Structure 1
Amino acid sequence: MRKWAIPSACLLLLVAGALAASLPMPWAAAQAPKVWRVQSSWPPASPPHLSFLELAKKIEEMSGGRLKLQVLPAGAVVPAFEILDAIHRRVLDGGHGVPAYWIGKHEASSLFGTSPGFGMDSWDNLAWMYYGGGLELYHELLQKELKMNVVSFPTSPLPSQAFGWFRKDPLKSAAELKGLKYRTVGLAADLFKELGAALTILPIGDVIPALERGVLDAAEVCCPSVDKTLGFHVVLKTYMVKSLHQPAEFLELIVSKSRWDELSPDLKAIVKYAAMAEAADFYMRDLKMNMQDLDDLVARGVKVTETPPEILKAQLEAWDRVLERKAKQGPFFAKVIESQRQWAKQAVPYRLLFSTPREIQFEHYWKKRS
């Protein structure tokens, strides 16, 4: 039998090929990035929407491009109040909103953002969410009470929200709220109903058109930057600040639990910590924007006035009645309230004890120079 000779160069190629076949190739190992199709609840230029874009950017950068969020504008797929259902049904992979937007499904949802806060601000509230049992309760609400296949990541703390924009002169007493056609969302709507106002609940993109048509006498959305972006100052000139209807709200990223379960442990950690990082980043950006935009609003002829203490006290008393009534109607609502109260019972006295009053510093540094 004839023996076939294999040239040494060919032999080397065969061996090299066999070895190469046994090793993972770089282009084979590099998987295509995961892309989540997510929708915003906010108008494109508004600070909450910009926060969503920044969060998406952080997740992509921290993951080295392995996880990307394709951010769709508000209303691209579903209206703002329907985002939760769309995520559950896998129409969307995720979305960005506030817990109060799900109040139509369960009133307790609003407690996680638009409760009275019991003296807390949004940072205290976020601390309760992450370290005081709030997030566990929120997931119990979403996943067990509502049967929604979703996961939430609290982020971006909002400042204590303004009382709002008014068509007429600033209010001097709570009695002037009676019959006032007013816009807010969440449990704050129950608060103002308790005070006699006529409530309309709208997504923020619909508020200015409602004011222009005369459907509303007054409305609140958030704070100087958001309100300026929406164009409140074009329609109304009376801006009342300080209120207790939404003192501790935050934004949230909601994700399909099916999509979440597909992630590796490191990508899960990236999403979680990107949301927390954006909370701090948003606060710093938002402070700069709000203080600059407030000056701009004043320069454009907006009259800024502080809400009288009599109205603030009336709000607190109305909150007591609303919460007592609703806690009797639902055990889960009562459980969330109790958890918040216990956290605030420690957090608020601590903050008061260790926080130096800013008024003293303001009087020393700035008022005497103005």
Structure 2
Amino acid sequence: MNKRVRIGWVCCLLALALAAGPSQAADKVFKWKGESCFGIASPLGKHTIVLWKKYAEEMSGGRLQLTLHDAGEIVPPTKIYDAVRDGMLDFGLNTPAWQKGKYPAGDLFYTLPGGVLEMNDLIVWMYGAGGKQLAQEMYGDELIVFPLGLTPPEQVWSKKPIKTLADIKGLKVRAAGLSMDLFEKLGASVVLLAGGEVVPGLQRGLIDAAEMLEASYDMSLGLHEVCKYRFGPPVHMSNNIFQLIVKTKSWKELPADLQGIVEKAALAATIQGYADFWQDTIAANKKIEAYGTITTKLSKEDQAKTREITMQIIEEKSAKDPFFKKVWESQKKFIQEFRPYYDFTKFD
């Protein structure tokens, strides 16, 4: 074979490789395994990670094949973060409350007690003012994180009537996150219990009251059957937002378009899931009212007091943890800039 022919063959092979390369990359299927930290049939599962899985697979045209395991099938829900970080899982649904020992600032990636950071504040800050970037900075290279799943506002259940903040003093309250500090400063004893332990804890007298979630999830646990009373507004914390966490190696292996799909599917699932979640909340609230639950609401003065206490708590924690302070300073600056126009446009 002469030199000219050899060069021709090389050129043909290069042309074929270039033609086939992008097509093969585009057709490659990525198979991921993950787990939800909440039951996938529960409102917290079906309106969050189940919806994300559906959207991501549809948007990818089958190039993402996602196997989603129910809570506890592979690891306990509290260990999903570790399982993703260590490579046992490619993805998972997480709540940063479970890493607060290592990452105290995780308590700031929700709405805050006392209405300090409300739902509108949280969403605009998270997606538009650096919130999600700070969440990624908090975890560093351990894993990739995106917001996923937003809940309607919460409520607090009690076996005793609570009409004022003074009625909380002396109670044993199930709480989580910064609300633990709030209830302690209000004179309550705080107990941290998993969702499945709350009703038995109320039945046995281990706790007198509990904050858990919104009406549909609380009703699915049977809180209305063991607590005669509930009160609002949710001064402990209004709305939850959770996290899609992804193994760093699995993320880096994805082409850019699939990375975009993973992220945008999380955003779509969060917004659509929130709207769907509300339909369950509305229906459940009607049933709770019909059941005979007595509902009370704290006065504006008591609400303002919880806000004042929350500010004290946040400043105390900021003095102890530099990254907590960094996140809070970002939120505080945002609130100062956002609230004037937002409050101006609200109806009284």
Alignment TM class, shorter chain as reference:
0.7 to 0.9
- Shift in alpha-carbon separation, 1:43–1:210, aligned structure 2, 3 A: farther
For 1:49, the equivalent position in structure 2 comes to: 45
Aligned length: 331
For 1:165, the equivalent position in structure 2 comes to: 157
Displacement, 1:205? 2.8
1:123-134 matched pairs, under 5 angstroms = 123-134=120-131
**Secondary structure of the structure 2 residue equivalent to 1:356:** coil
Matched, 1:294 2:291: no
Deviations 1:341-365 (A, max 9, x none): 11111222222212234xxxxxxxx
Letter in 2 for 1:41: C
| 8 Å Cα contact 2:164-2:298 kept in structure 1 | no
| 8 Å Cα contact 1:101-1:110 kept in structure 2 | no
Give the share of equivalent positions with the same residue, in percent: 35
Deviations 1:110-133 (A, max 9, x none): 111153486443243122122211
For 1:183, the equivalent position in structure 2 comes to: 174
Query: Residues of 1 paired with 2:151 and 2:114: CA distance?
Result: 13
1:1-370 matched pairs, under 5 angstroms = 33-51=29-47, 52-116=49-113, 119-143=116-140, 149-162=142-155, 164-169=156-161, 171-357=162-348
264-273 or 300-309, which moves further after superposition?
300-309
Letter in 1 for 2:160: K
| 8 Å Cα contact 2:115-2:235 kept in structure 1 | no
- Shift in alpha-carbon separation, 1:179–1:117, aligned structure 2, 3 A: closer
Q: TM-score, normalized by length of structure 2?
A: 0.88
Displacement, 1:188? 1.4
Letter in 1 for 2:98: Y
Displacement, 1:32? 5.8
Query: Residues of 2 paired with 1:237 and 1:64: CA distance?
Result: 49
Query: Residues of 2 paired with 1:55 and 1:128: CA distance?
Result: 22
Deviations 1:143-186 (A, max 9, x none): 1xxxx621111133223321x110122x1222222221111111
| 8 Å Cα contact 2:157-2:231 kept in structure 1 | yes
**Secondary structure of the structure 2 residue equivalent to 1:253:** strand
| 8 Å Cα contact 1:100-1:187 kept in structure 2 | no
Give the unaligned 5+ runs of structure 1.
1-17, 358-370
Deviations 1:209-231 (A, max 9, x none): 22222211110111111111222
Query: Residues of 2 paired with 1:129 and 1:205: CA distance?
Result: 30
Give the unaligned 5+ runs of structure 2.
1-12
Q: TM-score, normalized by length of structure 1?
A: 0.83
Query: Residues of 2 paired with 1:257 and 1:308: CA distance?
Result: 47
| 8 Å Cα contact 2:104-2:321 kept in structure 1 | no
For 1:10, the equivalent position in structure 2 comes to: none
For 1:5, the equivalent position in structure 2 comes to: none
Query: Residues of 2 paired with 1:293 and 1:253: CA distance?
Result: 27
235-244 or 253-262, which moves further after superposition?
235-244
| 8 Å Cα contact 1:103-1:110 kept in structure 2 | yes
Displacement, 1:248? 4.3
Letter in 1 for 2:257: D
Displacement, 1:251? 1.9
For 1:15, the equivalent position in structure 2 comes to: none
| 8 Å Cα contact 2:95-2:243 kept in structure 1 | yes
| 8 Å Cα contact 1:101-1:186 kept in structure 2 | no
| 8 Å Cα contact 2:111-2:122 kept in structure 1 | no
- Shift in alpha-carbon separation, 1:63–1:236, aligned structure 2, 3 A: same
For 1:13, the equivalent position in structure 2 comes to: none
Query: Residues of 2 paired with 1:217 and 1:96: CA distance?
Result: 30
**Secondary structure of the structure 2 residue equivalent to 1:77:** coil
Larger radius of gyration between Structure 1 and Structure 2: 1
